[in-house]
Amino acid sequence: MADSQAWLTIVGIGEDGWDGLTAPARAAIDAADSVMGAARHLSLLGGRGGGERIVWPIPFADGVPMLLERRGERVVMLASGDPFWFGAGSVVTRHLDPGEWVAYPAASTLSLAAARLGWPVETIQGVGLHARPVETLRPLLAPGQRLLALMRDGASVTALAAWLAEQGFGGSALTVLEALGGPRERVRRVAANMLDWTDIAHPVAVAIEPVGPGRVLPCASGLDDDWFAHDGQITKRPVRALALSALAPRPGELLWDIGTGSGSVALEWLLSNPTTRAVGFERDPARLARARANAARLGVERLDLVEGDAITGLADRPHPDAVFVGGGLSPQLVEALRMLPHCRLVAHAVTLETEALLTQCQSRFGGELLRIELAQARPLGTKRGWKASYPIVQWRVAW
């Protein structure tokens, strides 16, 4: 991209301010008609550069129309460090054509933190918690991991430490990194359950080395049922593992989970890869609320939940790559799903009536039928015996 094509220049600015900017970034600021940024970012310029100063409003989204109104002028937008690492860059550029902007990043907090800690960047899992709940970290909590969380302020760091202790990771080593790269830089280390500081300054990030007896989310499908709050209507662990295997989630794919109940299948789909998406359809408001709470507790906030009848709820939704029906499949629902192009369907039946429907569907539309019969050891008098569960029939098909 040639700089001459761009009316917008996105400049990443660090805590070292004007002195840390590259020559092209300085030149863009000198030549700008206006410079937009948070008040803190504008102050880091120290009065250097030309153009009108415009403070970016809060909430951030309110500033995007203000920026777009200046299309055709020479505008500089200031952002923290690397604008495209949990930064504002992508929020703005999604509204622009590629030739309309150019960016000059500064060192990211990730790079600066790695340099202070001696951690290889490729071993660090970064998370932006400016406006996201601390539960976002839940899938990442495991001894031996290296996490870097960008925090909103000192209070959010205190809340993070308390949450880690609640999860059984109170012994985790926290390195609190304040104002990296500038004259106010400070790096302090403390155990999560010992953090009692009241003077943590913004901007701040926290490096986390999880330690403790807390539960770790497995990477394989088939989480224990007690990871999910439920009312008994849940796809049990072994059957769920077989369902996820049949659904075969791939990066970026969208799942429809019809009759989501506790949300267990949709949540495991989302946990399989950070780019997957899922919509859970559920007509029972109590179960819908329970699925939402399960998603929040497991740190999977991107589960989209829809209340209402399945067939009605399907209207105007992006077409899925896969659909799971855990029970209650009907001829009408099959016909509705048949209209979806390039889709994988996995349906389970417990009742004889639904099993008969799956048999008919497999005969008409193809696919595979699998009968799942499970038994668990249970006390039988003074000894033990096998207690069988209801058999489940699985239909797997793609069209």
Largest CA distance in the chain: 87
Using the predicted structure, report yes or no on whether residue 1 has a pLDDT greater than 90. Answer: no
- On whether both 143 and 267 belong to a single domain, the answer is no
Query: Where is 174: in which H helix or E strand?
Result: strand 173-178
What is the mean predicted confidence (pLDDT) over 322-344? 92
Residue 288 lies in a domain: yes
CATH code of the domain containing 160: 3.30.950.10
Tell me whether residue 185 is in a domain.
yes
The CATH number of the domain where 42 resides is what? 3.40.1010.10
One domain, residues 97 and 137: no
* pLDDT at 218 > cutoff 60: yes
Same structural domain, 255 and 152: no
Angle between helices 237-247 and 264-271 (to 10 degrees): 50
Give yes or no for residue 269 having a pLDDT over 80.
yes
Contact status, residue 177 vs residue 113, Cβ threshold 8 Å: yes
Q: What is the mean pLDDT of the chain?
A: 95
Residue 314 has a pLDDT of 77
Residues 75 and 180 grouped into a single domain: no
Domain boundary among 107, 127, 159: 107
Task: Give the residue numbers spanning the domain of 61.
Answer: 3-107
In a domain, 214, yes or no: no
Tell me what percent of the residues of the chain surpass a pLDDT of 70: 99
**Listed residues 92, 107, 122: the one ending a domain:** 107
Count how many domains the chain has: 3
Average confidence (pLDDT) over 90-112: 95
| CATH number of the domain enclosing 281 | 3.40.50.150
Q: Taking Cα atoms as reference points, which of 245, 130, 129, 107 lies closest to residue 180? A: 107
SS3 293: helix
**DSSP secondary structure string for all residues of 344-395:** EEEEEE-SHHHHHHHHHHHHHH--EEEEE--EEEEEETTEEEEEEPPPEEEE
Q: What is the pLDDT of residues 191-202, one digit of tens each?
A: 999 999 999 999
| Residues 342 and 202 both lie in one domain | no
Please give the pLDDT value at position 317: 85
Task: Examine residue 219 and state whether it is found in any structural domain, yes or no.
Answer: no
309 pLDDT band, cuts 50/70/90, is: confident
Q: Which of 181, 209, 237 is the last residue of a domain?
A: 209
Answer yes or no: is pLDDT of 316 > 90.
Answer: no
Please check the confidence at residue 329 and state whether its pLDDT lies above 50.
Answer: yes
Which pTM does this prediction carry?
0.91
28 and 10 together in one domain: yes
Is 381 found in the same domain as 367?
A: yes
pLDDT of residue 315: 74
Instruction: Identify whether residues 261 and 392 lie together within a single domain.
Output: yes
Same domain, 85 and 175: no
Would you state the structure tokens that stand for residue 84, as one six-digit string? 């495209």
User: Residue 236 burial by CB count (10 A; 0-12/13-18/19+): exposed, middle or buried?
Assistant: middle
Same domain as 373, residue 235: yes
Q: How far apart are CA 50 and CA 73, in angstroms?
A: 14
Residue 2 has pLDDT above 60, yes or no: no
Q: How much of the chain exceeds pLDDT 90, in percent?
A: 92
Q: Which residue has the higher pLDDT, 3 or 65?
A: 65
Write down the pLDDT at residue 4. 58
Across residues 118-138, what is the average pLDDT?
95
Whether residue 100 is found in the same domain as residue 114: no
Q: Is the pLDDT at 5 greater than 90, yes or no?
A: no
Dump pLDDT digits (tens) for 229-257: 999 889 999 999 999 999 999 999 999 99
Same domain, 28 and 155: no
What pLDDT score was predicted for residue 328? Answer: 83
Q: Is the pLDDT of residue 3 over 70?
A: no
Cis peptide before 203 (omega within 30 of 0): yes
Residue 167 lies in a domain: yes
